[in-house]
Amino acid sequence: MAKISFTTPLSNLPYVGPAYVSKLKRLGLLTVKDLLYHLPTRYENFQLVSMISLLQPGETVSVTGKVVDIKNVFTKNGKRLTQATISDTSGTIEVIWFNQIFLTKVIKPNSDWIFSGRVDFFGRKLAIISPQYELFKTHQGDQDYLSQIHTGRLVPIYPETEGLTSKWLRAKIAYLLKYYSDIIEDFLPPQILRENNLPSLKETMLKIHFPQALEEADYARRRIAFEELFLLQLSGLAQKKIRLSQRVGSILKLNPFKENLDKYEKSLPFVLTDSQKKASEEILRDLVKNTPMNRLLEGDVGSGKTVVASLALYLAILNNTQAALMAPTEILAQQHYETLSKFLKPLGINLFLLTSSNKDFPENFDFNQPFIAVGTHSLLYNHLDFKNLSLVIIDEQHRFGVEQRLTLTKKGENPHVLTMTATPIPRTMALTFYGDLDLSVLSELPQGRQKIKTWVVPEEKRDNAYEWIKKNLVSVFIVCPLIEESETLSTVKAASKEFENLQKVFPEFKLALLHGRMKAKEKNLLINDFREGKINILVSTPVVEVGIDIPQANIMVIEAAERFGLAQLHQLRGRVGRNNQQAYCLLFLSQEQEQTVKRLKFLESVFSGPKLADIDLKMRGPGDLWGKRQHGFLNLKAADLTDEELIKETKKVAEKIVDADLENKYPELIKEMKKLTQPEYNPN
pLDDT in tens, 574-613: 888 888 789 999 999 887 788 888 889 999 998 887 788 7
Burial class (CB in 10 A: 0-12, 13-18, 19+), 517: exposed
Predicted TM-score (pTM) of this structure: 0.77
48-152 CATH fold: OB fold (Dihydrolipoamide Acetyltransferase, E2P) (2.40.50)
For the chain, the first-to-last Cα distance in angstroms comes to: 22
- When mean pLDDT is compared over 275-289, 616-630, 650-664, the highest value belongs to 275-289
User: What are the beta bridge partners of residue 80?
Assistant: 74
Strand, helix or coil for residue 62: strand
Least confident of 37-46, 431-440, 455-464: 431-440
**Which one, of 392, 555, 546, lies nearest residue 469 by Cα?**
555
Least confident of 306-310, 520-524, 632-636: 632-636
Please tell me the predicted confidence (pLDDT) of residue 298. Answer: 87
Q: Which CATH architecture has domain 255-442?
A: 3-Layer(aba) Sandwich (3.40)
Rounded to whole angstroms, the Cα distance separating 169 from 34 reads 12
- Using 50, 70 and 90 to split pLDDT, how confident is the model at 401? low
Q: 382-389: which pairs have CB atoms within 8 A and are 24 or more residues apart?
A: 384/354, 384/411, 386/322, 386/324, 386/411, 386/412, 387/322, 388/249, 388/250, 388/320, 388/321, 388/322, 388/412, 389/249, 389/250, 389/321, 389/322, 389/323, 389/324, 389/413, 389/415
If you ran DSSP here, which 8-state letter would residue 482 be given? B
Phi/psi of residue 328, each to 5°? -75, -20
- When mean pLDDT is compared over 138-147, 448-457, 486-495, the highest value belongs to 448-457
Q: Which residue has the higher pLDDT, 523 or 503?
A: 503
Q: How far is CA 327 from CA 280, 333, 485, 625, in A?
A: 20, 5, 30, 19
Rounded to whole angstroms, the Cα distance separating 550 from 475 reads 8
CATH no., domain 453-606: 3.40.50.300
Least confident of 116-125, 440-449, 618-627: 618-627
Mean pLDDT score, 342-347:
94
- Using 50, 70 and 90 to split pLDDT, how confident is the model at 484? low
Rounded to whole angstroms, the Cα distance separating 606 from 43 reads 37
Mean pLDDT of the chain: 86
Query: Among residues of the chain, what percentage have pLDDT more than 70?
Result: 89
453-606 and 48-152 share a CATH fold: no
In this structure, are residues 416 and 392 in contact, taking their beta carbons and an 8 Å threshold?
A: yes
- All structural domains of the chain with their residue ranges: 1-43+158-184, 48-152, 255-442, 453-606
- Using 50, 70 and 90 to split pLDDT, how confident is the model at 681? very low
Rounded to whole angstroms, the Cα distance separating 74 from 10 reads 40
- Using 50, 70 and 90 to split pLDDT, how confident is the model at 448? confident
Mean pLDDT score, 524-546:
84
Least confident of 29-38, 402-411, 539-548, 604-613: 539-548
